[in-house]
Structure 1
Amino acid sequence: MANNKNKKGLGRGIDAIFSNFEDQEPQTDSVSEVQLDQIRPNPYQPRRTFNEDALNDLANSIKESGVFQPIIVRESVNGYEIIAGERRYRASKMAGKATIPAIVRTFDDEAMMEVAVLENLQREDLSPIEEARAYDTLIKKLNITQAEVSKRLGKSRPYIANYLRLLSLPESVKRLVDAGDLSMAQARSLLSLKRKSQIVPMARKTVSEGLTVRQLEKLIARANANGQEPTKGSRKSAKSPYVRASENQLGDRFGTKVNIEQTKKGTGKIEIDFESEADLNRVLALLDVNLD
């Protein structure tokens, strides 16, 4: 699952969104009991799965003591939609409650999406794939760039780009990441395989044999070396740990795959992958290259 350390330091929190919106339109914070059967989950909720054990614990607590923190909802055509607090809503249903304390607020779709993403990033552990989908939803639904997402959420552009790259993994591998069988670091390593047909079998091998990230990287390095054509009749030598480390650091910096080729004479080349014209412009901006 995603590391909690990566969740900290968000530049724009939920309270900031609430307060920014309230500057435009006064809100009331009165709490009322709302029928659970009139409430629907947030349609922009990035979380696909909820930990059943944790929900059961919360449901038992609610049975004994009730819901201390009201959920936040907005009115919709058929009742209400949850802005924040879906775990409390689900646990209350499990506890057999008929109503739940709620604060009704006026939010547009854009604010709904931002709050759903921020609530999960700050308060719960999304899987890396769920986090990637959350960023992708903001980009597509709000028609904004990776740079704008990073600014809104207080994350670096390479950080956002690295998560978005996970969405290019095969679906079966994404499910392994969602289940916590593969870590973020292992999933990113798999993306460096030159022969994409090897990703699924390599992922399964990693899980079945309990490979560490370092062990997986060694396997991938060998697979990539074996998959390359010899240059001018001589076998290409394996890359040194220094070159591999440099590739990883540059990959983190640019949020994409970086390949370094070095000859025995010390010369060589650096290749930086990009997936679209917009992605190329992002990399050029990081290099401080202005083509205007």
Structure 2
Amino acid sequence: MSPPLSAQRTARRGAGRPPASWREPSHRRKDSHDGAEDRPGHRRRARTGPGHGPAPDARGRLGAGHLPHQRLRGRSGHHPRLRFRRLDVTRPDTFPEFVTTVRAALREHFGAESFDYLVNNAGIGTFAPYETTAPEQFDELVRINLKAPYFLTQALLPLINEGGRVLNVSTALTRGVVPGMSAYAATKGAVEVLTRYQAVELAGRSIRVNTLMGGAVATDFGRGTMNSPEVRELAAETITQGRIATVDDITAAVPAVLSDAFQWATGALIDVSGGQSI
């Protein structure tokens, strides 16, 4: 959801760099929210399963969301009705082909022509001080964090049911400032604006669109920096709940936001950061 906020306390003291425990020797830092491996040919792919992989909820509805590709290996059978498809979200020219793939999967495995939920959570983060952020770094963040959900949602619209849901993902860094994350936060701020426009323009089909705002989470984001006790302690100081989130803290909110019980919310920023930076 969000990279560690270990710079928060030092920023308040006037320091412009995060603690050494999560700095890299180079100013260039690329990490995928969805855990994509950081090596050539994989780092930018934000590999997914439809919706990138249709899967039914408890009521039999179909949803689609991104999953980390290394977690898919050898695990296709962990849910009897879960199907995965790969997608390089940096290639909008492949989205029409992907739509065809999703349509075929829906027909073959679910006997359906459409699905109910789309969760756009593939993304990357780049740590770079504002003064040294390169155009290439900025462009990559825009390509994956903003352009991909913009055009992938557009491409999948014919497959989303009337009254369906789209859930985008943002970060508490659009509210609390961590030096070195300006480009990343800017793309996520743009996603929040995009959500409001989608909510209005898709209202004719009763499609609700919301943004889920996460905060510091105990994941492998940032190459495992949240495993550092120092980083966890510093991040926890910015969170009202007094600790960083677990994965379950965040994922437990998703079914609720997508459910009929949440049907009156659209264009909303739903904060599940534990009160980070408020």
Higher Rg:
1
Q: Say yes or no: TM over 0.5.
A: no
State the TM-score, normalizing by the size of structure 1.
Answer: 0.24
Of Structure 1 and Structure 2, the greater helix share is in 1
Higher relative contact order (CA 8 A, sep 6+): 2
State the TM-score, normalizing by the size of structure 2.
Answer: 0.24
